[in-house]
Amino acid sequence: MNVKSDLTIPKPAKESTGIAKSLTLWMLILAFLTGVVGAFVPSFNMAGYTTFLKGFAPLYISLIASIGANSAVKKYKES
């Protein structure tokens, strides 16, 4: 009598990162890399780039605050 058991232990679900968090982090990485590369390229208008960053600062700040608030709420619910 040969009995074959097909029991498997389910793997825990992988914690996924939200699309908003990923998008925000990629935007910040792209802005940082653009600034780093632009600092070494003589034809890059760094003054214009900093003006651009200052104009979009409220957007970046709100997105980063949203990530932090979401993390705080998640940790509060877990405890």
Nearest residue to 20 (alpha-carbon basis) of 72, 62, 74, 73: 62
Do 39 and 46 meet the contact criterion of CB atoms below 8 Å apart?
Answer: yes
Phi, psi angles (nearest 5°) of residue 51: -65, -40
Cα–Cα distance measured from residue 26 to residue 29, given in angstroms and rounded to the nearest whole number: 5
Asked if 74 and 31 count as a contact pair (C-beta separation under 8 A), the reply is no
Per-domain boundaries in the chain: 19-78
Which tokens hold the place of 20? 């908003």
For the segment 17-63, what is each residue's pLDDT rounded down to a tens digit?
678 788 888 988 999 999 999 999 999 999 999 998 899 889 888 88
Please indicate, yes or no, whether the overall pTM of this predicted structure exceeds 0.85: no
The neighbour count for residue 49, using CB atoms within 10 Å, is 15
- Note the pLDDT of residue 30: 93
